[in-house]
Chains A and B, each alone.
Chain A
Amino acid sequence: MRTHLLIIMAYEWRILKAGRLAQLSIIFLSVMIAVSLVTVFLMYSGQYEEVQKNRKTQKELYNELHIEISKAEQQYAENWQTGKMLRSGSLSPSALFDRSANFRATNPAEPLTMLNRGQLSWSPQTFAYKPIGSRFTPFYHTYDIKSIGSLFPERSTDNPLMMLLGQLDLAFITLNIVPLLLLALSFNFIAFERESGTLALLLTNPVSFKTIVIGKLAVRFFLFLSICALLPLMLMLLLTAWHNSGNITRGLFINAGIWILAVSIYIMFWLIVSLFINAFNRSSSFNALLSVIVWLGLVALIPAICNQAIKSITPGNLNYRFITIERKASLGINAHIDTLRTGLNNSFNSRYVRIRDDQASQERYDSAYFLQPYKLISDSELVDSFISFNPEWRDANTPNQLSRILTETRSFMIGERLKNILGDIEESKRRQRSLSFVLGFTSPTVLLKSIFDDVSGAGTTKTNDFLRQLDTYIRNREASFSKLTLDFRNLSSGDYGESKIFTYQKASMSLRIGNLVYWIGGIMIFTGMLFLWSLALFKRYRMVG
């Protein structure tokens, strides 16, 4: 049987090589894949460099601050009484917070992103963090008022037409073009033999019909798997190794393996589709027509219908509602806090005057501002509300602490006012995710797309994970600054350093495994069911005539 199979495969390969359609299809597919790899690799390199650059900038900023703090510490140790008094100027938590708060973090592109751009074309991947009130970017914030500052998503400046049409990446080719070419080369792989009378001739040999079918399909399987998965993935691994001085992580190998596995099952599915079509025992023309309909339905129509269904469950007014609520909250709270702050500053500045080059007046000012209790902001429901939620601020009473309370109250209370709408948005996104997870089971194309997005880190999962980590990092940083203020502490050089720079930690494989099993299993179920149906149809198949 094995020898027969190999012979059938060898003959089938010879037939495919001789056919003009097969030649054209293979050349076309290879050229498309080569073009896509070159195009997307150039983009990937750009993004990779951007991540490195951002990290370098942040590193430089931190190093600069670290040196400055160390110098100042030394200077203060020599001249002033260290630790007894908090200083205004460059070492105060608020001054340094403002200086160090300007940073940008980019969601690092995965090497496999070059094969599947996914939503990276339109979804912001770089976020600039700014303390409130210092916005020097044309990117207005969206839903990110969770912390004291704001995260400004830097939206892609790509041509919207480009976003609409999409990239010509390997994922697009595998999802859309490969099935059509597979069907074009297989829609009559049995019908042709039957119509030309060679099937009967073949069956006169000591070879089973099953072996003939498997042999013919196996050639196509290995041919397509090599062109659209094995070769590009190997090339991508080589390029990554070249980019990273020979280092390839285990995670990348695993993801590349999952990609190849998923594509092989997908190719198998489409070959079974052609088997199913041939099992109807109809003419080649009928098979061709049915192939196009099946391809169109599974590749284009069902995903498009799913998308429309998912979109239609999203209330179209959430963005508008968010802006209205956010503006209302910001206008009201900002005006109130500004009034309180002006009152505090005016009152304090009129009592303690700093005279230039007069150290005594500076010390008096600092001592009063950082250490002496001051009259608390009176009759502010907002501040009272903030303190009731954050009791650690209850005993805070120096002007410096009061100023910090005002800053925190502003962001906290705006966040409180936005809680409901943010909840609605989150709920809507959650429903969308659940629905798209369920609707994925309507087409293997949707399932494979989900796998591609997951392994290449180009889907929502990684972006959400990145944002979660960034949010936690920002909250922790802000909390540490608040703690310094509460503890009457100044900054020390230990508060800065490379270890404090935000670095995205990739999600562990164990978190993704469930989804991957669901998606891969989905394609396998599709393939298995269709295979069983085809077998049932073949029981009534007329080999001759």
Chain B
Amino acid sequence: MKKRKIKSGATLPIPVKAVWVIAQKEFRDSFRDKRLWWASSFLLVLLCASFIIGLNYSKARNKAREEAQVAQREQWINKSVTNSHIAAHTGITLFRPNSLLLAIDNGLDNYLGTSVFVEPHRRNLFQQAPVENVPALQQLGELTPAFALQIIVPLIIVLLCFSTFTAEREQGTLRIMLAHGVKPSDLALGKLIGSMIPLISVLMLVITAGTASMLINSSEEAGEFSLPRFSFMVFGYLAYYIIFIGISVAVSALSKTSQRSFLVLLGFWFFACLIVPRVIISIAQKTYPIPTAEQFIKELEQAETKVLPFMAQRAAIEKELMATYRVSKPTDLPVSTWGVTLFRREEESTRLYNQQFGNLFTQYEKQNSFYQFFSFLAPSISIQMYSMSLSGSDLNHFRHFAEVADNYRYEMVQQMNQIAIESKLYNASLSAPPDHPAFPKGEKEAYKKVKPFNYMMPSYSWALEKTMLSTIALLVWLAVSIFFLRRVLLKIKVL
């Protein structure tokens, strides 16, 4: 196709060039209209500031976490206790790691505990959620890139697109343009390209700078950066914006006046981003109630009563072991009945605790699935869940970590109990208190055998799989908005 310089206002029969002419004209107009540049600059500052603050906070926290985890290990190895079970009782605190993507979307991070104390007999809840150390104003929201990307950018899109067609219609230029053979779709595309350039520039700049800074900062100490997760996040946000652009342009094409188009789109944004999420989660809470802290403790205590009292169980185990090893006196047993009892009780209590915690997490998941289902009603829910999952700050990642931590707890405790089993010091009497040394030699070596806690975040495909419903909803929204826009443009009315 022959290229030639296009002058503003020239009549062109070739659609591609019509798009460019309109885009150029729109860009010139938007360039002259300082409001757009103010909005773009504001967005740039907002995104950069929130990202830098988020990144620094995340890095500082990860560094502190890493140091604290090392200190825990040191304390575990260098403690001096005389008994393997008491050693297990001194426990270890495990800290939840954070990915660097938390600088973009910290999701539920503020509301989830940062550490858990692991010890025998019980599984603890996580403690010290960051929200406990912030003032009460937290309820009014927090300036994070996710807040800007999920709430502010769609509003800017609405502000940029609400008059795409209505302005032309009100000025009477729509009729002229269509009379010149410009297709409504070309007009829409041209206007979008022209008016979206500042916004696209800002987003591209932030994405490039964000990727570079996270790649530079990515380290074991500061937190890891996953490029696939980040890439999927970018695609998700682009789809989200296309949805808003499609809906905004379609509403503009359908509306008679800019004012009506603006009010409809503002209403949609308001409902989708602010109202629907709160209403849906409130309904979810009523539909799938979560036990209160008191009820949860009571359930745990009730579960514990199902386990036999220690001494009764120990007596039964002693009998069983004497029969197995065919010995007549407990002192002749090659293993410690005290150790075996502890080992078996740990198995039993872990099973009971896992069941209770499993029930709690199941209720959370039911609520979240219910909430996710309404992604089909509000695209903001789908992008929120999708983005949270990819940044590793959703409930699925938390549960994954909590389960890995509890497996570690179980392994650590049973390793200590194994030492007790091999020690025959407690076979002399059923009532002998366990205050004799169970580490005959080389205590430290026994502690060292407990491997340091090492957590690997699940892969991006796992994260995508867990947020499948939201991903599908996002794609459905994308398809519907494009289809809707196409239908509207085909039947556009001049007046």
Q: What is the interface of chain A, defined by CB distance below 8 A to chain B?
A: 21, 32, 35, 39, 42, 46, 50, 104, 118-119, 122-124, 126, 136-140, 142, 154-168, 172, 175-177, 180, 184, 284-285, 288-289, 292, 296, 300-301, 303-308, 310-312, 314-321, 323-324, 327-328, 331, 335, 342, 425, 428-429, 432-433, 436, 445-446, 449-450, 453, 458-460
> Chain A residues with Cβ under 8 A from B484's Cβ?
none
Q: Is the CB of B90 within 8 A of A331?
A: yes
Nearest CB of chain B from residue A516's CB, rounded to whole Å: 15
Nearest CB of chain B from residue A302's CB, rounded to whole Å: 9
Nearest CB of chain A from residue B66's CB, rounded to whole Å: 9
Partner of A327, one of B93, B110, B138, B266: B93
Residue of B nearest to A433 (CB): B135
Q: Is the CB of A168 within 8 A of B57?
A: no
Partner of B134, one of A142, A292, A307: A307
Residue of B nearest to A303 (CB): B140
Q: A285-B259, A308-B50, A311-B57 are in contact. Are A138 and B125 (CB under 8 A)?
A: yes
> Chain B residues with Cβ under 8 A from A46's Cβ?
292
Q: Is the CB of B155 within 8 A of A296?
A: yes
Q: A154-B293, A155-B127, A331-B79 are in contact. Are A304 and B142 (CB under 8 A)?
A: yes
Q: Is the CB of B143 within 8 A of A307?
A: yes
Interface CB pairs A-B, < 8 A, 26: A32-B275, A104-B294, A119-B138, A122-B132, A123-B132, A158-B290, A159-B363, A161-B364, A168-B282, A180-B270, A285-B259, A285-B262, A288-B259, A300-B151, A304-B143, A307-B140, A307-B142, A308-B144, A316-B61, A323-B68, A327-B71, A328-B71, A335-B79, A425-B133, A432-B135, A449-B137
Q: Is the CB of A136 within 8 A of B301?
A: yes
Q: Is the CB of B137 within 8 A of A303?
A: yes
Interface: B63 (CB within 8 A): yes
Taking residues whose C-beta sits less than 8 angstroms from the other chain, chain B's interface range is 35 or more
> Chain A residues with Cβ under 8 A from B284's Cβ?
159, 162
Residue of B nearest to A436 (CB): B135
> Chain A residues with Cβ under 8 A from B325's Cβ?
none
Interface: B279 (CB within 8 A): yes
> Chain A residues with Cβ under 8 A from B129's Cβ?
122, 155
Partner of B395, one of A35, A161, A429, A436: A161
Interface: B53 (CB within 8 A): yes
> Chain B residues with Cβ under 8 A from A323's Cβ?
68, 72, 93, 115, 128
Q: Is the CB of B139 within 8 A of A162?
A: no
Nearest CB of chain B from residue A289's CB, rounded to whole Å: 7
Q: Is the CB of A288 within 8 A of B142?
A: no
CA distance A289 to B124 in the complex (A): 51
Interface: B136 (CB within 8 A): yes
Nearest CB of chain B from residue A86's CB, rounded to whole Å: 25
> Chain B residues with Cβ under 8 A from A184's Cβ?
263, 266
- Dominant secondary structure at the A interface: helix
> Chain B residues with Cβ under 8 A from A310's Cβ?
134-135, 137
Nearest CB of chain A from residue B65's CB, rounded to whole Å: 6
Interface: B368 (CB within 8 A): yes
Q: Is the CB of A335 within 8 A of B80?
A: yes
Residue of B nearest to A54 (CB): B294
Partner of A159, one of B57, B147, B163, B364: B364
> Chain A residues with Cβ under 8 A from B275's Cβ?
32, 177
Q: Is the CB of B141 within 8 A of A315?
A: no
Nearest CB of chain A from residue B259's CB, rounded to whole Å: 6
Nearest CB of chain B from residue A185's CB, rounded to whole Å: 11
Q: Is the CB of A292 within 8 A of B155?
A: yes
Contact with A along B102-113 (1 / 0, CB 8 A): 000001101111
Residue of A nearest to B368 (CB): A161
CA distance A446 to B138 in the complex (A): 10
Partner of B124, one of A123, A138, A175, A308: A138
CA distance A327 to B118 in the complex (A): 13
Q: Is the CB of B140 within 8 A of A449?
A: yes
Interface: B360 (CB within 8 A): yes
> Chain A residues with Cβ under 8 A from B236's Cβ?
none
Partner of A164, one of B110, B270, B286: B110
Q: Is the CB of A331 within 8 A of B75?
A: yes
Q: Is the CB of A308 within 8 A of B142?
A: yes
Most B-side CB within 10 Å, residue of A119, A124, A126, A425: A119
CA distance A539 to B291 in the complex (A): 61
Q: Across the A-B interface, give the 8 residue pairs with the lowest CB-CB distance, nearest first.
A: A317-B64, A303-B140, A320-B68, A160-B111, A304-B143, A154-B293, A308-B143, A316-B61
Q: Is the CB of A167 within 8 A of B278?
A: yes
Partner of A300, one of B125, B132, B141: B141
Most A-side CB within 10 Å, residue of B133, B163, B263, B285: B133
Q: Is the CB of B133 within 8 A of A314?
A: yes
Q: Is the CB of A160 within 8 A of B68?
A: no
Nearest CB of chain B from residue A177's CB, rounded to whole Å: 8
Residue of B nearest to A25 (CB): B267
8 Å CB interface, B56-82 against A: 56-57, 60-61, 63-65, 67-68, 71-72, 75, 79-81
8 Å CB interface, B117-173 against A: 117, 122-125, 127-144, 147, 151-152, 155, 159, 163
> Chain B residues with Cβ under 8 A from A335's Cβ?
79-81
Residue of B nearest to A171 (CB): B139
